[in-house]
Structure 1
Amino acid sequence: MRVIIPEQLWIANAIQVRDLRTVLSSGTTAIIDLAIEEKPVIFPRDIVSLRFPLLDGGGNDLALLKMVIDTLANFIQAKRPTTVACSAAMSRSPGLVAAALAQVEGKSLEETTLRVAETGPCDLSPGLLSDLVKLVPHRPAGNVKPNLVILRSLDLDRLCRFYQMLGLVWVRERHGKGPEHFSTTVEDFVLELYPARSAEPIDATTNVGFRLDDVVATVEQLRLAGIRIVREPESMPWGLQAIVQDPDSRKVILTQPV
């Protein structure tokens, strides 16, 4: 058994996880079994035993993968001694452990995967890794977090009304001798609308995106207001998504997460 977090988290293959004496002597109190091709192991009744039958490759249900990541992340946060097992302990177990660590520690999947790989052999299936990338938010190296976007328009009031239909609440501001503009803050992210000078071309190639609770209702509201719908709501692996166009011809991506 490979130690990932001392006295708290281990990875085991199909043979190791069936050696109950060794598993229990490690202090394990929870087992997460990921191997669809292996027969389930019967553990003592006081051991938490969860089985998530996963393919070693692409084609897994993303909701099931997310459930494994969330469950393991909760065990890690609760410091419950846990062993994660699959057939060879080289693909599914390391991949899901890395994804859970990335979620708990706020690190990139690449960083946690390399850390897990340092503990022993790893050969992650490209298909499985591709699915995990969809579920683990990309995090830039270091403590970098975007917090401001500024959009410019020749018709600021019209642009403001458009974004109000998405649920944003605007405040008029002016900093020193600068121009009057609109500002809204969602958590710690700031979006500002500034007036454009006539000599400034409006960059319609800029795209912005928002997460919403009800994409379908929002799109219908925008349609009634005469807003161009670039793409109707469509199911994607990450949720329901539509694309509309703001008054300055920017594409606005609306997503209702899974």
Structure 2
Amino acid sequence: MASRHRTPRGPEVVLSTGASSALLVIYTERLDACHDFYCGLGLELVREQHGSGPVHYAVELAGGMVLELYPARPGHATGRLRLGFTVPASDRFRGGEHRLSDPDGRVVVVEVIEGP
């Protein structure tokens, strides 16, 4: 079942009431630089390694979605992608929308919420 909803910034979108995001994996040839970039947004990425698999980073976001950064084999990085995060205001970010690029050139829109 879906419903229609008008977003604050744009046109009407259809909301799915039966699906939600659970996992987003970004493959990068610049693992350390991307780790530093996303940590700088306030995401607390934790180093992980499962068995003999590659070292990677993961964080569970509000709502339960997991974001992971994995090392990519040459030529197999996640390509063009636009991400959006909502974060609380900090010394680095004041209220409003900030359009950034991660070390791989992906667009990252940060919506900063001024808290109490």
Q: For residues 184 and 201 of structure 1, do their structure 2 counterparts lie closer, same or farther at Cα, with a shift above 3 Å needed?
A: closer
Distance 1:148 1:216 in 2: 29
> Aligned match of 2:71 in 170, 195, 210?
195
Residue 168 (structure 1) aligned with residue 43 (structure 2): yes
Distance 1:201 1:217 in 2: 28
SS of 1:218's partner is coil
> Aligned match of 1:245 in 101, 109, 112?
101
Quick check: 1:215–1:255 contact (8 Å CA) kept in 2?
Answer: no
Distance 1:209 1:162 in 2: 14
Name the aligned partner's letter for residue 244 of structure 1: L
Superposed displacement of residue 255, structure 1:
1.1
- Structure 1, unpaired ranges of 5+: 1-106, 111-131, 220-232, 234-239
Quick check: 1:215–1:241 contact (8 Å CA) kept in 2?
Answer: no
TM superposition score normalised by structure 1? 0.38
Alignment of 1:114-129 (within 5 A): none
Quick check: 1:215–1:242 contact (8 Å CA) kept in 2?
Answer: no
Q: For residues 155 and 145 of structure 1, do their structure 2 counterparts lie closer, same or farther at Cα, with a shift above 3 Å needed?
A: same
SS of 2:6's partner is helix
Figure out how many residues of one structure are paired with residues of the other and give that number.
110
For 2:25, the equivalent position in structure 1 comes to 150
> Aligned match of 2:3 in 109, 112, 115?
109
Higher relative contact order (Cα pairs below 8 Å, separated by 6+ residues):
2
- Structure 2, unpaired ranges of 5+: none
Superposed displacement of residue 167, structure 1:
0.7
For 1:256, the equivalent position in structure 2 comes to 112
SS of 1:109's partner is strand
Q: Report the structure number with the largest CA radius of gyration.
A: 1
SS of 1:172's partner is strand
Residue 185 (structure 1) aligned with residue 60 (structure 2): yes
Divergent runs of 4+, >6 A: none
Quick check: 1:160–1:182 contact (8 Å CA) kept in 2?
Answer: yes
> Aligned match of 1:218 in 93, 96, 100?
93
Residue 133 (structure 1) aligned with residue 27 (structure 2): no
Name the aligned partner's letter for residue 66 of structure 2: V
Q: For residues 145 and 156 of structure 1, do their structure 2 counterparts lie closer, same or farther at Cα, with a shift above 3 Å needed?
A: same
Superposed displacement of residue 201, structure 1:
4.5
Identity of aligned residues (%): 28
Distance 1:215 1:252 in 2: 17
Distance 1:109 1:140 in 2: 7
Name the aligned partner's letter for residue 154 of structure 1: E
Quick check: 1:109–1:133 contact (8 Å CA) kept in 2?
Answer: no
SS of 1:167's partner is coil
Quick check: 1:209–1:253 contact (8 Å CA) kept in 2?
Answer: yes
